[in-house]
Amino acid sequence: MPSILRPCLVSFVLLSGLTGVLYPAAVTGVAQAAFPSKANGSLILQDGKLAGSSLLGQPFADSKYFWGRPSATGPFPYNAGSSSASNLGPSNPALVDAVKGRIAALRAADPGNDAPVPVDLVTTSASGLDPHVSPAAARYQIGRVAKARRLDEAKVRALVDSKVEGPELGLFGEPRVNVLALNRALDELR
Amino acid sequence: MTGRDGLQIGLYLVALLALAWPLGTYMARVYEGKDTFLSRALGPVERLFFRAMGVRADDDTTWKDYAFAAIAFNALGFFFVYALQRLQGVLPLNPQHLPGVAPELAFNTASSFTTNTNWQSYGGETTLGYLVQALALTVQNFVSAATGMAVLVALIRGFVRKESSTIGCFWVDLVRGTVHVLVPLSFVFAIVLVACGVVQTWSPYAASSLLEGTTDAEGRIGESLVALGPAASQVAIKNLGTNGGGFFNANSAHPFENPTALSNFLVMLSILVLPAALCHTFGAMVGDKRQGWALLATMLALFLPLLAVCLWQEGAPNPSLAGLGLDHASNMEGKEVRFGIASSALYATVTTAASNGSVNAMHDSFSPLGGLVPMWLMQLGEIVFGGVGSGLYGMLMFAIIAVFVAGLMVGRTPEYLGKKIEAYEMKMASLTVLVPAATVLVGTAIAVSCSAGRAGVANPGPHGFSEILYAFSSAGNNNGSAFGGLGAGSVFYTTALGIAMWLARFWIMVPVLALAGGLAKKKMIPASAGTLPTHRPLFVAMLTFVVVVVGALTFIPALALGPVVEHLMQHG
């Protein structure tokens, strides 16, 4: 028994020091020196104030903004202090009702637009903070946004097209549009 | 699935195999105590550890001492993680002033991290401060993985040694695995993750204005608190060590934990690279590389068809949403746009093949059969790659069962790697298969029979049963992923699943070590014309068959009540 006590306690203390103190501290040191913006959350500064992160989505419900994906965070959508998902099963009637409600809201905000609704625009994301929508979901909203802002549709469409990002390195992931970046650019459009 | 998706998956497999080979060879040298290209830098650290601990690099113990050391070390870790969580409120490095964690949740999280399960009943950014994340969770991510690798190496020694009463020294293996393998790999990977956008800071959460703002029950909200923290250092080892417990609640779906499809690709590689590499370590240490290849081939033979099913099911539209006026309608509920279907289905298959359990999409919202794939991969015993160390020692138990079955067919005494497989070996191997299966099925049966168990269900109908079955499959095989709707924070589930994790970890580890001790004592029998070669495609097929038959016979009745019924109801 005594023969096990020393290696057990000492290895625990030393390994904790190495992996729980030195290692995170060293990673932080290198990260803050080499990639300060990214290590701190890719935050957006505007007039000296924080205006979100380029990696996190924000809630949008006004017709004059592009809407992002529905968010299941509480107590308000896109709560960046409490990520979470709906965890609704595929056959849950609550999922069907929620999707119906979101389709109705989209149609009510944009009467006359009978195009099929892109699925990502009416289903919640995994994190509740998804910053992106599919290019189809952004294009679906062009008419509504242009009308609400009294802008030429072609101008809004050009802006959306300029904000479409392709798969990374042409290979990984999906084409997408960062909704916050799009809406910020929209506010600057005259 | 598009051509690009196929290309990504192909590239994934090529990169995995290409990385696993040199890494596996490197690890064999580490555990054999030979010099490597990092010895000059890391050798002094190792020697410092040994001197302080009072052990010598050539210490050698019996399997009982080995097992006792492993259990004592993990028990100490458990109490430390538990205490740190309970005392969080009065400890430093907790900028959000999060209170001490409730006892049942602290028990569950401590069990979860010391058993390499990393089941996530805690809420990440809303429950745990930076001190607990770094000094409790990150440390256990390292040492629980190093424990798994150590036990595997001890088992390999059992095959290699002849008429020996010892199988190595746990303390030496523990320190070598951490210092020479896990820490350097994690350090490099953590920096790469930060370069992709994963956060790494000790600053408090940042208040940030919202462009439009929103409302909650109390009124208008113009600002949101952005959760931050030392995430990259933990995410790196969470994946390399097949741990999987998230820094944030949404785990690898959170943009700060997995910001881009490229980081996602690298994370998926990091999940399988050590379990795949250890196959080569095994081959190198037993002196026949083909033996390692055969086990790796078996893992791939099980992995690829299941991946195909998951991809196919998730890419299909959800029939419950048909006729609502949606476009092509692949199953995007609970998935992130930057990953889409292919990267989410691949991730789900990878993370449950390995006993990782981190998620980049919510498995609870997967299609019924898409969710069956991760569930069954866990139920197979976490041996299709599996946990670092634990996956391969689990697969070796199946290899022993496979040679035994083959021996029965031809009426010869079975042998594996020159060691006779007799009643004692079969008893131990059978235990490692029966204990997790019994834990999963009995646990599920208890949960559905009592109101405390049924109260946790979030989705109605067969999907609710799937949530419970998934939870016990995950805890009972040390995976840690979840059908997240289940109210796993209740006293019933935190306790029941906490116990399941302990059973699954140590009721496999101890029989494996006992088996290693027994094998080491045996003579080596030279291969003869009647020996079944265990490196040929025939054996790979045989082993695959045994794994599938055992997994299917044990779990198809339970799966039929959950995902299969739900699928039939949706398509009926």
- Nearest-CA distance B561 → chain A (Å): 15
Say yes or no: A72 and A138 in one domain.
yes
- CA torsion through residues B43, B45, B47, B50, sign: negative
* Selection from B309, B357, B276, B212 nearest residue B563 by Cα: B309
Say yes or no: A27 and A10 in one domain.
yes
Say yes or no: A34 and A53 in one domain.
no
B interface test, pick of A10, A14, A27 with most B CB neighbours within 10 Å = A27
User: Measured between CB atoms, does B293 come within 8 Å of chain A?
Assistant: no
- Cβ contacts below 8 Å, chain A against chain B, sum to 378
Task: Give per-residue pLDDT as tens, B500-547.
Answer: 999 999 999 999 999 999 999 999 999 888 889 999 999 999 999 999
User: Measured between CB atoms, does A174 come within 8 Å of chain B?
Assistant: yes
**Contacting residues of A for B135, CB less than 8 Å apart:** 16, 20-21
Per-residue pLDDT at A158: 98
Task: Give per-residue pLDDT as tens, B111-157.
Answer: 999 999 999 999 999 999 999 999 999 999 999 999 999 999 999 99
Say yes or no: A139 and A97 in one domain.
yes
Say yes or no: A52 and A96 in one domain.
yes
Say yes or no: A67 and A80 in one domain.
yes
Tokens 């149609």 belong to A107
Compute the mean pLDDT over every residue in chain B, rounded to the nearest whole number.
96
Say yes or no: A100 and A88 in one domain.
yes
Say yes or no: A50 and A89 in one domain.
yes
| pLDDT at position A31 over 50 | yes
Following DSSP, what letter does each residue of B43-79 receive, concatenated? HHHHHHHHHHHT--TT----HHHHHHHHHHHHHHHHH
Compute the mean pLDDT over every residue in chain A, rounded to the nearest whole number.
96
pLDDT band at residue A2 using 50, 70 and 90 as cut-offs: low
Interface of B with A in 439-468 (CB under 8 A): 458-461, 463, 466
User: Measured between CB atoms, does B410 come within 8 Å of chain A?
Assistant: no
CB contact under 8 Å between B224 and A32, yes or no, is no
Per-residue pLDDT at A1: 46
Output the six-digit token pair for B439. Answer: 């834990």
Number of domains present in the structure of chain A: 2
- Which segments in chain B show pLDDT lower than 50? none
What is the C-alpha separation between B251 and A84, in angstroms, rounded?
A: 9
User: Measured between CB atoms, does A33 come within 8 Å of chain B?
Assistant: no
Per-residue pLDDT at A23: 98
- Nearest-CA distance B36 → chain A (Å): 21
Output b/e per residue, B445-475; b: 16+ Cβ within 10 A.
Answer: eebeeeeebeebbbbebbbbbbbbbbbbbbb
- Nearest-CA distance A149 → chain B (Å): 15
User: Measured between CB atoms, does B76 come within 8 Å of chain A?
Assistant: yes
Please, are residues B252 and B339 in contact by the beta-carbon 8 Å criterion? no
Which ipTM value was assigned to this complex? Answer: 0.97
Output the six-digit token pair for B306. Answer: 């299941």
Say yes or no: A111 and A52 in one domain.
yes
- Nearest-CA distance A46 → chain B (Å): 10
Say yes or no: A22 and A96 in one domain.
no
Its domain, for residue A121, covers 41-188
Say yes or no: A73 and A100 in one domain.
yes
Burial of B549 (0-12, 13-18, 19+ CB in 10 A): exposed
- Nearest-CA distance B24 → chain A (Å): 22
Tokens 């040390």 belong to B478
Per-residue pLDDT at B78: 98
Say yes or no: A30 and A61 in one domain.
no
* Selection from B542, B5, B28, B6 nearest residue B280 by Cα: B28
**Contacting residues of B for A43, CB less than 8 Å apart:** 206, 208, 226
Contacts of B423 (CB under 8 A, 6+ apart): none
